Amino acid sequence: MTTTSIDSLIAHDTSDMLGAVASLPAQLPDGLARANLLRTQVAERWAGDHGATPRTLVVCGMGGSGVGADLLPAAADVLAPVVAVKGYDLPGWVTDEDRVVCVSYSGATSETLSCFDQAVERSVVAAVITTGGELLARAEAAGVPAVVLPSGMQPRAAVGVIFGALAGVADALGVIEDVATVVEECVAGATLVVDEHLGTGPEHGGEAPPALDFARRLHDHAIVVSGASHTEAVAHRWKAQVNENGKVPCFASAYPELCHNELVGWEFAGATGARWALVELLPFAASEAIRARFDIVRSLIADSIDLDLRFEPRASTRAGATFEQLVWGDYVSIYLALLRGIDPTPVERIHALKAQLAGR
């Protein structure tokens, strides 16, 4: 690919979503540092008083702000279940044995505000993570510690700072241990892919970035992303990024569950008229049983799919592999937009929906 053709593709990235992905390794420790500013406050008020790890950590947040809840138990060994709430209501079982963290980048998301109010009523909210808005105002009014994020990004592009902040709060609450190491490992995994991406391209001998090659192959396919164990969360991140950056449908599923349903669904995939592509996210230290399932399913559905891309993690830890595979997906999803000649950043339909809801 020539310098000019890569440049003309990148010209569509007017808000620099590629730059936001490259900033991910720096975002992670930044998020942790921001949470650490409140460490004593969070720990003394919530963990210190009770002196124990809570029964569960409930993390309320939607879209790009909610993904941290999925990634935390994927990347770190958790000492209590982390329950993601992606909706208006806290489950009825949440009591003062549990801790709630509400995450909204804008601070304006109605589902998260609703959960925050319910958590305050039940006296279970440990912290909020936000750039400001109504969530920060309500947290300040209720005396709830607030980790304040840097503003000016798309929420989904702030995944590093959101994850670092949530990991810091989880550590202060006794839900994970040795957060500094977890974050370092995530940085190492993200850096692998970011460095590889920045090391390619015209200024480095004209080679196209590997993520662009993958996006070229995936372009105009219906994409299914499959993960297993910790890469299940990453498969869902890929799906959301292909939706929000690439502006096309995408589906996520997980082994071994998919062997009991989706596998059969591939039989008449061709009848949909779509060209199907399968993206396989092998987990870190995949067991023989899981690896065998990936292989056997691939061979059973070979006639139904047009393309099969397998990503084997190279990072040396589970946390690293989580962020390595995540950054891959972020880059690929951006190139899917650029190949279509569109800007990956705007999510006009989300804004239209929120505006229409506000008018009701």
Tell me the catalytic residues.
Answer: 244, 260, 354
Residue 12 CB, shortest distance to ligand F6R, in Å, is 17
Q: Which is nearer to ligand F6R, 16 or 213 (CB)?
A: 16
Question: What is the DSSP secondary structure assignment for residue 177, as one 8-state letter?
Answer: S
- In this structure, are strands 146-148 and 125-130 parallel, antiparallel, or unpaired? parallel
Alpha helices in the chain (DSSP H): 3-10, 17-22, 24-36, 39-42, 49-50, 63-75, 110-121, 133-142, 159-172, 179-198, 210-218, 230-244, 262-265, 288-300, 318-340, 348-358
Which candidate, 83, 85, 139, places its Cα nearest to that of 107? 139
247 binds ligand F6R (CB under 6 A): no
Q: Which is nearer to ligand F6R, 41 or 106 (CB)?
A: 106
Q: Which of 25, 29, 31, 64 binds ligand F6R (CB under 6 A)?
A: 64
For residues 189 and 183, give the distance between their C-alpha atoms in angstroms, rounded to a whole number.
Answer: 10
26 binds ligand F6R (CB under 6 A): no
For residues 199 and 192, give the distance between their C-alpha atoms in angstroms, rounded to a whole number.
Answer: 11
Q: Which of 23, 53, 109, 253 binds ligand F6R (CB under 6 A)?
A: 109
What is the C-alpha R_g of the chain? Answer: 21
Site for ligand F6R in 328-357 (CB under 6 A): 347, 350
Instruction: Please count the residues of the chain.
Output: 360
Q: Which of 20, 24, 42, 62 binds ligand F6R (CB under 6 A)?
A: 62
State whether residue 134 is helix, strand or coil: helix
Sole window of 30-38, 61-69, 86-94, 217-225 interacting with ligand F6R (rule: CB under 6 A): 61-69
239 binds ligand F6R (CB under 6 A): no
105 binds ligand F6R (CB under 6 A): yes
Residue 106 CB, shortest distance to ligand F6R, in Å, is 3
Q: Which is nearer to ligand F6R, 271 or 357 (CB)?
A: 357
For residues 65 and 59, give the distance between their C-alpha atoms in angstroms, rounded to a whole number.
Answer: 10
75 touches 230 (CB < 8 A): yes
Sole window of 153-161, 226-234, 262-270, 290-298 interacting with ligand F6R (rule: CB under 6 A): 153-161
155 binds ligand F6R (CB under 6 A): yes
Q: Which is nearer to ligand F6R, 53 or 131 (CB)?
A: 131
Size of the site for ligand F6R (CB under 6 A): 15
Which candidate, 299, 318, 320, places its Cα nearest to that of 310? 299
Which residue of this chain has its Cβ atom nearest to ligand F6R in the complex? Answer: 63
Q: Which of 31, 63, 168, 227 binds ligand F6R (CB under 6 A)?
A: 63
147 touches 128 (CB < 8 A): yes
Q: Which residues of this chain interact with ligand F6R, rule CB under 6 A?
A: 62-65, 104-106, 109, 112, 154-156, 244, 347, 350
